[in-house]
Chains A and B, each alone.
Chain A
Amino acid sequence: MSQLVNMKLAGTSLGIDVKAVQDVVRLGSITPVPRAADWIAGMMNLRGHIVTAINMRARMNLPPADPDARQMCVVVNLGPEAYSLIVDSVGEVISVTEDQREPEPATLDSHWRSVSRGVVRLPTQLLIEIDIEHLIRGKFNEAA
């Protein structure tokens, strides 16, 4: 059994292993980084630590969020670095049993597939579990 933080991005449910999640904060001031990939929203100061903010909508090729939307940041650790994933909203921590896990459906968009660890069947919805390493390094490696 594992625990996932449940979050929403443009109507899709995403899950991230709770062990990787350091913090959940409201989207605050971000310093943009010109010339960086479009999905790098910029840098933010999280209690004295510099965290790279990832625009999850841009990362997943989704349309930008409504400028008035109050987006949330899920701060995750990847190695020594911390990243802040900007999502539409953050829900509860859910417990997932092995038999709830399913292979990725063949119809899953290749973008999602490239960052997915698998799909979890919840009573009312399907949830894509995000592989943080692929999310952050994967795209970078593709680009390189």
Chain B
Amino acid sequence: MDDLLPDFLVETAENLQQVDNEIVRFEREPSDVEVLANIFRMVHTVKGSCGFIGLPRLEQLAHAAETLLGKLRDGTLKANPAIVTETLAAIDAIRIITAALAETGKEPETDNAELINRLEALARGETVDGAPAEAPTAAASNDMASQSIRVSVSLLEELMTSVSELVLTRNQLMQEHKQAGHDEMDPPLQRLSAQIYRLQDSVMRTRMQPISGAWNVLPRIVRQLGIDLDKSIDLVMEGGETELDRQMLEMIKDPLTHMVRNSGDHGIETRTARLAAGKPPAGTIHLSAAQEGGHITIDLSDDGCGLNLPKLKEKAVEHGVLTSAQADEASDMQLARLIFMPGMSTAKEVTQISGRGVGMDIVRANIEKIGGTIEVDTKMGEGTRFRIRIPLTLAIMPALIIGVGPEKARAHFAIPQIAVAELVRTDADSEHRVETVAGARVIRLRGRLLPLIDLGHTLGMPGGATDHVLIIRGAGNEYGVLVDEVFDTEELVVKPVSHPLAGLSLYAGNAILGDGQVIMILDANGLAEELGSETQREADALANMDQESKAPLPIAKDAILIFKAGGRPHPRAVPLALVSRIEEIPADAIEWSGKHAVVQLRDELVPVVCLNGRYTPIESGKQAALIFADHGEIIALAVDEVVDIIEANVALELCSDDPERLGTAVVAGKATELIDVAHLFTVDMPKRGASTRRDGAATGARVLVIDDSPFFRNMLTPLLSAAGYQVKAAASVDDALSLRAAGETFDLILSDIEMPGKSGLDFARNIRSGGSWSDLPLVALSSLSDEQDMEAGLQAGFDRYVAKFDRKRLLELLEESVKLDEEAAA
């Protein structure tokens, strides 16, 4: 019989646990049939088992409770507070008795006679007054009290801390268990783990509040805004019941309020303006929140006028945030993002409502501070939409553990999982290769170049294998982080760093790992700062290129010759149009003139040059060479191999540090250096001597180049500079006209014809119609060169016409035009 007792206790404990869940409902709805049935079943089972095992006290109690519950169940009795109280008392008593049984193996000597009497009296339909004194009042207020209680925030914080520590201890235990390998401990540990997870979840939920807590001030603010600004604004809110950590709630409150004010103030137009734009007179601000995984997404949109992108652009250039060339290439999305930069408020005047120095840069900073992101999307005349993503809680953060440094002294760091977009492995054979561009390392990922941070190097512990790359994607940043090893993810309880470390933006916090070691948590935004100003520019350029692949931006489509040279594995490129021909020169045809290699080609002695230094002759066989002809000069560029000729859209990013190359571009999915042909001609050659710069250098004439294509601007500027001209480039007719307005003068203007917006023809007509440039020589530069086009160009006011790739003709024309002009002036 004693053998049965443990089984009975386990079963009863389980039943009691189930009933616990029902009790709250029972208190609220004592007549709920299902709840009653559950409690009745439990009590019934206890009674049955007691009789079998021989536990008379428990049996009596259970019997009395069963009788009462039976009458409730079959409707003979109606539930009232007294019945609920006594039922609960009976369940508690059963719990006490079974607890004592578990401890001593015997029924306790407690006397339940009074309780049993009350239960029996109630079952007979009598009222009892022997019930616990506090029962009636307690029962009366039970409805509310049972549903919510007030708990101080500090107690919740304390709970959270305890749970956090518990999570840590669990991690530690699991880790040690893994190492020890005691299989028999698996099930209990797993149960423990699951329970802790549930506990963590519950405790976290106690800290949750509906986001409407941050919203409830908004309707009034919007209403007041409407009155102050004489606008009709409707505020539509959805998903207010979405819950998030109250700490997050506090942090999001002000930014959100500010953004709603902004929408009302700058976004929504006046009634008249809206009617004129064919919109309903009342504007709508739409605010919604929803939970997605471990995140809350908050959308704030308005159907107002949208962001003033041209103004943003202007302001960005004015503040030096973007160069005018960058600004012109920027997509709408990129321009819209400018509002998150400091000092970019475009409101015409500082209004009482939102222009108070708290800009969107502060909003972004606040959101990032809590590990969130903000994005903006806007359409002129149609409205603006902001999307904020924030984590549910800050306290526990899933993080990726990584290793850095030489194998024997590898240091571990954590990086928030939310920041890591993907993990790639790099090696020479893999498609994700680490390449070096101008000393900066980049990674090619699906045809895009991302800047790389060598974490070991950054942290001063180099020397590892570095074949893992974390791709970090966050607020406006996308970059790779080279690490030596990637371990598990762990849930970390994040603690802020101590005072002396607070100045290091590299760290987001620290935490204790399962093995008891402290780990530093890297900050994705802080790491991005490590890209440095130089590399940052490259990153921006790369980001631009990235954008270009998404949105059609001015890019040139050209035939590109790909080659390898100087024994370097990475490809170089040159526009095919610049190459006169490709020659294979027999090794023995290369002669030496002093220190310089030359080759006789079609009765001309042609210097042989190579990239990165002096040409080293090959022993035998044939030397592949690209022949460039420039204004009567010919050079042969020795190359290792001509790889391919492709038609490609080349998004060239100019670099200035290396004279031999124009910059870097992604050609056929590879980081490719575009060489600067003009530079090759400036390399001091015996045959050429001092005559190299004879043309333009003599005049120093100022030339303005107008071309919407960055490729051509970047190509022509060094070319013309090398020929001795002072060159200024403008990306559009408007840019050029603003130069005129700024009082700039030139000796000659070279303009593209086909440009988005105002065309070259418009430009010619404009400057010929008057102003300081009305008499300047004007050369048309176009890929269209049939007679009709030429005629149109000449009529519009161009003096000359030259095809884009005809460099020889271009230089001749420039020279002639400048000379003519000088003569005319003389």
Chain A contact residues, CB within 8 Å of chain B: 29-37, 40, 42-45, 48, 50, 52, 78, 81, 83, 136-137, 139-140, 143-144
Q: In the complex the two chains form, what is the Cα distance from A35 to B497 in whole Å?
A: 14
Which single member of B165, B461, B495, B500 contacts A140 (CB below 8 Å)?
A: B500
Q: Which 3 A-B pairs have the closest CB atoms?
A: A34-B459, A43-B518, A52-B498
- B501 on the interface (CB 8 Å rule)? yes
B506 in contact with A35 (CB, 8 Å): yes
Q: In the complex the two chains form, what is the Cα distance from A116 to B460 in whole Å?
A: 33
Q: In the complex, what's the smallest C-beta–C-beta distance from A59 to chain B, in angstroms?
A: 10
Which single member of B168, B459, B461, B498 contacts A48 (CB below 8 Å)?
A: B168
Which B residues from 469 to 522 make CB contacts under 8 A with A? 495, 498-501, 503-504, 506-507, 510-512, 516-520
Chain A residues, CB < 8 A from B460:
34-35
A-B contact pairs, 26 of them (CB 8 A): A31-B518, A31-B519, A31-B520, A32-B411, A33-B501, A34-B459, A35-B459, A35-B504, A36-B500, A36-B501, A36-B504, A37-B500, A40-B501, A42-B518, A43-B520, A48-B168, A50-B495, A50-B498, A50-B511, A52-B498, A52-B501, A81-B498, A81-B499, A136-B500, A140-B499, A140-B500
Q: In the complex the two chains form, what is the Cα distance from A87 to B343 in whole Å?
A: 49
Q: In the complex the two chains form, what is the Cα distance from A105 to B14 in whole Å?
A: 74
Which single member of B458, B499, B503, B512 contacts A45 (CB below 8 Å)?
A: B512
Q: In the complex, what's the smallest C-beta–C-beta distance from A49 to chain B, in angstroms?
A: 8
Chain B residues, CB < 8 A from A50:
495, 498, 510-512, 518
B168 in contact with A33 (CB, 8 Å): no
Chain A residues, CB < 8 A from B503:
140, 143-144
Q: In the complex the two chains form, what is the Cα distance from A49 to B810 in whole Å?
A: 73
A136 in contact with B518 (CB, 8 Å): no
How many residues does chain B have at the interface if contact means C-beta atoms less than 8 Å apart?
25
B499 in contact with A31 (CB, 8 Å): no
Q: In the complex the two chains form, what is the Cα distance from A106 to B510 in whole Å?
A: 42
Q: In the complex, what's the smallest C-beta–C-beta distance from B500 to chain A, in angstroms?
A: 5
A45 in contact with B459 (CB, 8 Å): no
Q: In the complex the two chains form, what is the Cα distance from A143 to B500 in whole Å?
A: 10
Chain A residues, CB < 8 A from B506:
34-35
Chain A residues, CB < 8 A from B519:
31
Q: In the complex the two chains form, what is the Cα distance from A33 to B497 in whole Å?
A: 11
Chain B residues, CB < 8 A from A31:
411-412, 510, 517-520
Q: In the complex, what's the smallest C-beta–C-beta distance from B414 to chain A, in angstroms?
A: 11
Q: In the complex the two chains form, what is the Cα distance from A108 to B506 in whole Å?
A: 37
Q: In the complex, what's the smallest C-beta–C-beta distance from A120 to chain B, in angstroms?
A: 27
Which single member of A33, A42, A45 contacts B516 (CB below 8 Å)?
A: A45
Q: In the complex, what's the smallest C-beta–C-beta distance from B754 to chain A, in angstroms?
A: 52
B518 in contact with A48 (CB, 8 Å): no
Chain B residues, CB < 8 A from A78:
499
Most buried by A among B168, B412, B495, B504: B504
Chain B residues, CB < 8 A from A136:
499-500
Q: In the complex the two chains form, what is the Cα distance from A140 to B495 in whole Å?
A: 20
Chain B residues, CB < 8 A from A43:
510, 518, 520
Known: A32-B411, A50-B495, A144-B503. 5 other contacts (CB 8 A): A35-B504, A50-B510, A52-B501, A81-B499, A137-B500
B499 in contact with A48 (CB, 8 Å): no
Give the nearest-CB partner of A48 in chain B.
B165
Known A-B contacts A34-B459, A81-B498, A81-B499; the reply to A44 vs B504 at CB < 8 A is no
Give the nearest-CB partner of B455 in chain A.
A34
Q: In the complex the two chains form, what is the Cα distance from A40 to B510 in whole Å?
A: 14
Q: In the complex the two chains form, what is the Cα distance from A52 to B497 in whole Å?
A: 9
Q: In the complex the two chains form, what is the Cα distance from A15 to B650 in whole Å?
A: 69
Q: In the complex the two chains form, what is the Cα distance from A32 to B411 in whole Å?
A: 8
Chain B residues, CB < 8 A from A42:
518
Which B residues from 518 to 561 make CB contacts under 8 A with A? 518-520
Chain B residues, CB < 8 A from A52:
498, 500-501
Q: In the complex, what's the smallest C-beta–C-beta distance from A134 to chain B, in angstroms?
A: 13
Which B residues from 154 to 180 make CB contacts under 8 A with A? 165, 168
Give the nearest-CB partner of B498 in chain A.
A52
Q: In the complex the two chains form, what is the Cα distance from A144 to B511 in whole Å?
A: 26
Q: In the complex, what's the smallest C-beta–C-beta distance from B457 to chain A, in angstroms?
A: 11
Give the nearest-CB partner of A81 in chain B.
B498
Q: In the complex, what's the smallest C-beta–C-beta distance from A41 to chain B, in angstroms?
A: 11
Q: In the complex the two chains form, what is the Cα distance from A133 to B459 in whole Å?
A: 28
Chain B residues, CB < 8 A from A36:
500-501, 504
Chain B residues, CB < 8 A from A35:
459-460, 504, 506
Most buried by A among B495, B498, B511: B498
Q: In the complex the two chains form, what is the Cα distance from A35 to B165 in whole Å?
A: 28
Q: In the complex the two chains form, what is the Cα distance from A30 to B504 in whole Å?
A: 19
Chain B residues, CB < 8 A from A48:
165, 168, 512
Give the nearest-CB partner of B164 in chain A.
A48
Q: In the complex, what's the smallest C-beta–C-beta distance from B159 to chain A, in angstroms?
A: 16
Q: In the complex, what's the smallest C-beta–C-beta distance from B270 to chain A, in angstroms?
A: 49
Chain A residues, CB < 8 A from B512:
45, 48, 50
Q: In the complex the two chains form, what is the Cα distance from A139 to B503 in whole Å?
A: 13
Q: In the complex the two chains form, what is the Cα distance from A137 to B495 in whole Å?
A: 19
Which single member of A29, A34, A83, A144 contacts B498 (CB below 8 Å)?
A: A83
Give the nearest-CB partner of A54 in chain B.
B500
Q: In the complex the two chains form, what is the Cα distance from A66 to B814 in whole Å?
A: 75
Q: In the complex, what's the smallest C-beta–C-beta distance from A46 to chain B, in angstroms?
A: 10
A45 in contact with B518 (CB, 8 Å): yes
Give the nearest-CB partner of B404 in chain A.
A34
Q: In the complex, what's the smallest C-beta–C-beta distance from A50 to chain B, in angstroms?
A: 5
Give the nearest-CB partner of A78 in chain B.
B499
Known A-B contacts A48-B165, A50-B512; the reply to A33 vs B507 at CB < 8 A is yes
Give the nearest-CB partner of A137 in chain B.
B499
Chain A residues, CB < 8 A from B499:
78, 81, 136-137, 140
Most buried by A among B165, B458, B500, B516: B500
Chain A residues, CB < 8 A from B412:
31
Chain A residues, CB < 8 A from B518:
30-31, 42-45, 50
Chain A residues, CB < 8 A from B495:
50
Chain A residues, CB < 8 A from B411:
31-32, 34
Which single member of B500, B516, B517 contacts A40 (CB below 8 Å)?
A: B500
Q: In the complex, what's the smallest C-beta–C-beta distance from A76 to chain B, in angstroms?
A: 12
Most buried by A among B459, B461, B518: B518
Q: In the complex the two chains form, what is the Cα distance from A135 to B54 in whole Å?
A: 72
Give the nearest-CB partner of B509 in chain A.
A50
Q: In the complex the two chains form, what is the Cα distance from A45 to B511 in whole Å?
A: 9
Chain A residues, CB < 8 A from B500:
36-37, 40, 52, 136-137, 139-140
A29 in contact with B501 (CB, 8 Å): no
Chain B residues, CB < 8 A from A144:
503
Q: In the complex the two chains form, what is the Cα distance from A77 to B355 in whole Å?
A: 44
A34 in contact with B461 (CB, 8 Å): yes
Q: In the complex the two chains form, what is the Cα distance from A143 to B520 in whole Å?
A: 22
Most buried by B among A83, A140, A144: A140
Q: In the complex the two chains form, what is the Cα distance from A141 to B165 in whole Å?
A: 33
Which single member of B168, B459, B504, B517 contacts A29 (CB below 8 Å)?
A: B517
Chain B residues, CB < 8 A from A81:
498-499
Chain A residues, CB < 8 A from B501:
33, 36, 40, 52
